Amino acid sequence: MVTLVLILGLVSCASKEGPEVAPPDQIVLPNMVGLYWPDAFKQLQNAGWCGVIDREPDAVVQPKDRGRIIHQFPGGGQSVSRDARITLQFGAF
């Protein structure tokens, strides 16, 4: 497993309420499966996440899914700490 640490200076821990509300020290993780990284990152920012991404090796997929997130852990809708480690797997061919 490769660890990808985001050093973009773009991560904000500001709390923004979404459709579901988590305790103050937690967020409801968005479902990012099927999204490209820029869109997924925007959702994480909006949720108030400021943790680390672990990237699993890319998986072979159909051309239409290349570059998209095909697996995430924890799954979307789960309540996690704002600084949780999230594991993502992207599609490649």
Look up residue 13 and give its two tokens.
């821990």
Provide the strand spans (E) within the chain: 2-4, 26-28, 52-55, 59-60, 69-73, 79-81, 85-92
Cβ–Cβ < 8 Å for 11, 50: yes
Q: How much is the pLDDT for 20?
A: 58
Q: How much is the pLDDT for 57?
A: 97
Q: What is the mean pLDDT of residues 2-13?
A: 39
What H or E segment, with its residue span, contains residue 78? none
Model confidence over 12-61: pLDDT tens digits? 454 444 555 667 889 999 999 999 999 999 999 999 999 999 999 999 99
Per-residue confidence at 66, pLDDT binned at 50, 70, 90? Answer: very high
